[in-house]
Chain A
Amino acid sequence: MSISAPVNRRSNLKIAAGAVVCEESILKGDITIGARTVIHPKASIVAEAGPIIIGEGNIIEEMATIVNRLPPNIVDSATPALQIIGNYNVFEADCTCEASKVGDNNILENKAFVTRDVELTNGCVIGAACSLIEPEIVPENTIVFGSQCHRREMNDKPYPQIGQLEYLMRVLPSYHHLRKANIKVKSDPAT
């Protein structure tokens, strides 16, 4: 499909310039990664049912999983499902996100789980070990927390993790091999 990136082992992986994608991350399928997005080693992004488009300034920590999963019972979908992830989201260690659409400024805390029929809008926080397993559109600034998955609307959306992002962009390249960017900054597919 793509011809512009002969360096990459996977031809359908598009990494915008300025993104920090560690070599040890597990990326499978058609994935587009926006600028200033940081993907830790051992984070896995699997585009199984269709392409995954990740926007700018996201942090995807180790063991976090973003999967564009095939709906159950369907082996091969004729129309590929697109999974879009917006800007400045944080996927903390060992969370799993299968949501078809994730807006901006969301946080999935450790071991959070979001199933594929969920749409996260903006500024949502899925607390540690909370799971969303039913189809729904989560309203803006919702926080899900606690063992009983309590919900509350926050006053304010969580602040984007700019400091952390800058720190990671500085530190990660010194200790890890990175995948090379293969797209010029201009094209930003997520927005």
Chain B
Amino acid sequence: MLRYEGIRYISDKQMVVLDIGSAYTKFGYAGEATPRGIIRTEVKCPESKEIRRIFNYIDIDDLYQLLVEFLHLLFFRHVAISPKDVRIVVLESLLTPTQFRETLAKVLFRHFEVGSLMLLPTHLATISTLGTDTVLVLDVGYQEATLIPVYEGVPILKAWQALPLAACAVHECIKKDLTDSIPNLRIPEKTVEDIKVRTCFVTTLERSAKLGTDDAPSPPPAVKYPGLKTIEIPGYVRERAFEVLWERDNDNLSISTMILDAIVKCPVDTRRQLAENILLIGGTTMAKGFASRLKSELNTLLKSDLYSDKLKIQTFKFHKAPSKPNYTAWLGGAIFGIADLPARCLTKENYLKSNRVPDWVCLLDNQKDDTSNCGI
């Protein structure tokens, strides 16, 4: 009985959902609750035999080759499917460089000959996981933190925020602190990442204020990190790792001001609702204490001179998606992708005819009565 049902379910075509992040790629099938896997977005270069990150591409040709290698591995080793004529959902940030999405589409259609491609904006797709349609989505990933509020299902694009405050900055910070305390230490970023994940945490606002002053609180215990060479990770490194996300830079910007600035840019009548529907996604937000620090930072900033007269918000409320934050965007795509809407996909035929990917910044795709189905 079960088998029969399964086969019926199988009769409809599979849809592959990819979330190609700058550090990790999440992949799986639409309609499933968990990604099939999460792998690093990197490939071994066939010529030089070194591991290269896809996003460290030199130029378009280089990116093309890297993507071919990476997607080949992804399709045949991990997803285990023939990419030809398959339908694909790719999650992308609205801020993805045009260069990247055009190249990705070219690789998918021209090299892998996929059947259709649906490019979904990360922030928008993510709200499928909640069942509500007003959410302020903050994505803190590897390269940058991006924020787009979505109100009643419509992204408020003018309020977008992006800062290079994410895992990469945290890694740099840990690396610097470690090399300061242990001279001649050379550690690969992978190890730094592992140290971050296993030992570091986001400290509280009260302690953070005292860090570096005379009455600094006693640091958490040091951790011995064994490996080829044992590294002793001092307690202050563990505590300070994520401080870079909260320290306001010269322009007075940090993760917490991103949220407030975005809310300020939104229409007045949407502000309270947005502040009470915050969703944190991206691997960096999984750090211990991230949400609680964010909340106390927000509450403190609200009372500060910067925002006290601009914003009259009382509370901030946070959503919990039915998933881990590092693949919530993927899950959004997997839920949204199940809605089989040919109208929203870019098919191979259309691509080969027009040879371009519709883009929201392009006026061609934003004509008033243009429902030419190339919209996303």
Give the distance in Å from the alpha carbon of A144 to the alpha carbon of B228 in the complex: 10
Cβ contacts under 8 Å, A134 to chain B:
229-230
* Interface pick from A35-43, A49-57, A59-67, A145-153: A145-153
- CB of A136 within 8 A of chain B? yes
B361 to chain A, nearest CB (A): 44
Name 13 interchain pairs, CB-CB below 8 A, sorted by A. A133-B229, A134-B229, A134-B230, A136-B230, A144-B226, A148-B227, A148-B228, A149-B226, A149-B227, A149-B228, A150-B226, A150-B227, A151-B226
B12 to chain A, nearest CB (A): 42
Least distance between B133 CB and chain A CB atoms (Å) = 45
SS of B interface (majority): loop
CB distance from A111 to the nearest CB of B (A): 15
Number of interface residues of B (CB under 8 A): 5
The docked-state distance in angstroms from the alpha carbon of A133 to that of B227 is 10
**B230 surroundings in chain A (CB, below 8 A):** 134, 136
Within 8 A of A (CB), among B225-257: 226-230
Report the minimum CB–CB distance from A52 to chain B (whole Å): 27
Binding site for A on B (CB under 8 A): 226-230
Interface centre among B226, B227, B229 (most CB of A within 10 A): B226
- Listed from nearest, the 6 A-B pairs whose CB atoms lie closest are A151-B226, A149-B228, A134-B230, A149-B227, A148-B227, A148-B228
CB distance from B220 to the nearest CB of A (A): 21
**What string of 1s and 0s marks CB contacts (under 8 Å) between A140-173 and chain B?**
0000100011110000000000000000000000
- Which chain A residues border B226 with CB–CB below 8 Å? 144, 149-151
B-chain residues with CB within 8 Å of residue A136 when the two chains form the complex: 230
Nearest CB of chain A from residue B315's CB, rounded to whole Å: 44
Known A-B contacts: A133-B229, A150-B227. Give 11 more (CB < 8 A).
A134-B229, A134-B230, A136-B230, A144-B226, A148-B227, A148-B228, A149-B226, A149-B227, A149-B228, A150-B226, A151-B226
A50 to B91, CA, bound (A): 66
CA distance A151 to B226 in the complex (A): 7
Q: Which residues between 117 and 141 of chain A lie within 8 Å of chain B, taking CB atoms? A: 133-134, 136
- Which chain B residues lie closer than 8 Å to A150 at the CB level? 226-227
A188 to chain B, nearest CB (A): 34
For residue A130, which residue of chain B has the nearest CB?
A: B228
Residues on A with C-beta less than 8 A from B229 are 133-134
A133 to B229, CA, bound (A): 8
CA distance A149 to B227 in the complex (A): 5
Bound together, the chains give a CA A134 to CA B227 distance in angstroms of: 11
Closest B residue to A144 by beta carbon equals B226
